Amino acid sequence: MLKGIGASPGIGIGRVFLIREHNLSYTPRQIEDVQAELGRLREAIEGFCTAARAKADKIEQNVGEKEAEILRGHVLMIQDPYMAGEIEKLIEGGQCAESALEAICDMFINVFSSAEDDLTNQRAADVRDVKEGILRILLGLEETDISDAPPNTVLVVKELTPSMTAGIRKENVVGIITEMGSKTSHSAILARALEIPAVLSVENAVQVLADKQAVIIDGAVGSVIPDPELEQVTEYTRLRDEFIKERKALGRFIGRDTKTADGRRVELVANIGNPEDAQKALDCDAEGVGLFRTEFLFMDKASLPSEEEQLEAYKKAALIMKGRPVIIRTLDIGGDKEIPYLGLQKEENPFLGFRAVRFCLKRPDVYKPQLRALLRASAFGDVRIMIPLVTCVEEVTEVKALIKECMEELDSEQKKYDPGIKIGVMMETSASAAIADLLAKEADFFSIGTNDLTQYTMCVDRGNASVSYLYSHYNPAVLRSIKRIIECGKQEGVPVGMCGEAAADALLIPLLISFGLDEYSVSPTAVLSTRKAISLWSKKDADALAQRVMELKTEKEVLACLRAVSYTHLR
């Protein structure tokens, strides 16, 4: 059995359709006719954009408008005056089009790859897709066509790019296996949109698996079974049919309140990365936005976004949500993200360095325009401000003082805002958990970021494979931190939400119900399954399970208990 990341749930049973990468090697050369080389580049870019638009139209027709925006974003990326201008400068300096394209694209890939969050990392995959697409045209190579994949195909590829996805015939492809990608990568997003099971980050999959080889994949747990036995095929066929039946049944949760089995109401909202995602959240029946990451406004530009640019983005999300809550996290950026115009210093340990609220408080020239834009956006909906990476009370009081200063400025300028705007804390450090009682006296709400809370509590670098076995929100230390944060919030009447991956974990949900979590913020596609999982547990049953779990000593014991009890309970 091979293991990877379960990125799109479901069972796929079929035969391997192997896609090998093109050889995009070339010999760099100095050019003499600059105008001719610029013409080559521009012609290749135009050809790439024309093809990308056609693929986007096809994806919109077969999958959806939001998924098509991924490819349309590639067109906007290569047409950006800064990126295109930098490539042309290198050509004017004597480099060939291939070398110039690769140099500038690789610069952006390195910037985005250095980030710690998957959403920013995905920008690197976008640039790589653009680079390879234009290089193919420059080198005169045919593009990979997967439209003729036969029925019961399991695609196996190093990285499934959005440009490849346009050729997928959903009726023929029953599974996807890649060597690269995460749960938030475009490979995963597109696979989930197509409702095709997918297992990503399977080491050496292209070398280990052979063309036409029989294979089973489980996109929920991230397993791949090559050459399955007859008994395995029979069992997984049964599981596949059960999964399809269950997925259809999720439709009955559309439009329903999110309640426990005994009628306790909680809030179910979505995590988004840009204002357009707000519509997707609504389409997936989310009750609001629990986390709007604002980094996209800063990462894709050659200069600091203005207050007006930011206002338009935040205002758009607020208007789409029509009065539903929109929690917007202020800039969470630091030394691990190389943004030239911010003048950030490279740090040996950026996760413990000059980042997030620490950076913002030292750079009011960056922070104040964002705070002013957020305040002004609050005139158009229920916008709330969330402060990331808090480790001491002073950080919260300093941000609140800066917000008050911005309010006074807006008053003098006669610009509207909500004077009662809520200001919350993202509880994602072990320090914030330890002083949760003190922070609860300053904050209007808490939101637990379990991804970083787990990382900081367990002292684990999420990207370090040698210690990844310690990275688990089932660890007793992490569970106790979550429980304490919620208890401290309750004591001060501060609502507590959760915006990390754990909020959508069906195994963890009974513990969160028992602890008293008020809000669950999940990916838009996980809204209905999370609503269902919450509906299956009463507070009494959840409390009984939590009492058992919180007495256990190890992550292994916790996980085994949750699996056993949940399996019995759900039957």
CA distances from 65 to 169, 278, 280 (A): 17, 13, 10
Q: Where are the alpha helices (DSSP H) in 213-258?
A: 230-249
Q: What is the bridge-based pairing of β-strands 223-226 and 2-3?
A: antiparallel
Distance CA 415, CA 410 (A): 5
Residue 110 near residue 102 (C-beta atoms within 8 A): no
CA 321 to chain centre: 20
Question: Which H/E stretch holds residue 218?
Answer: strand 214-218
Distance CA 559, CA 571 (A): 18
Distance CA 378, CA 571 (A): 45
- In 387-418, which positions are buried (b, 16+ CB within 10 angstroms) versus exposed (e)? bbbbbebebbeebeebbeebbeebeeeeeebb
- DSSP symbol at 143: P
Nearest to 558 by CA among 448, 483, 449, 464: 483
- In 262-301, which positions are buried (b, 16+ CB within 10 angstroms) versus exposed (e)? eeeebbbbbbbbbbbbbbbbbebbbbbbbbbbbbbbbbbe
Q: What is the bridge-based pairing of β-strands 519-522 and 325-329?
A: unpaired
**What are phi and psi for residue 11, nearest 5 degrees?**
-110, 130
Residue 458 near residue 478 (C-beta atoms within 8 A): yes
Catalytic residue among 49, 74, 105, 186: 186
Report the alpha-carbon angle 539-543-547, nearest 5: 175
Concatenate the DSSP letters of all residues of 429-457 into one string. Answer: SHHHHHTHHHHTTT-SEEEE-HHHHHHHH
Distance CA 98, CA 398 (A): 49
Is residue 208 classed exposed, middle or buried when 0-12, 13-18 and 19+ CB atoms within 10 A define those classes?
middle
What three-state secondary structure class fits 104?
A: helix
Show Cβ contacts of residue 54 under 8 Å, excluding neighbours closer than 6 positions: none
- Helices 364-377 + 393-412 axis angle, to 10: 70
**What are phi and psi for residue 416, nearest 5 degrees?**
-80, 150
Distance CA 396, CA 384 (A): 14
Catalytic residue among 49, 96, 360, 499: 499
Is residue 363 classed exposed, middle or buried when 0-12, 13-18 and 19+ CB atoms within 10 A define those classes?
middle
**Catalytic residue check, 499:** yes
Q: How many residues does the chain have?
A: 571
Distance CA 253, CA 285 (A): 9
Residues involved in catalysis: 186, 499
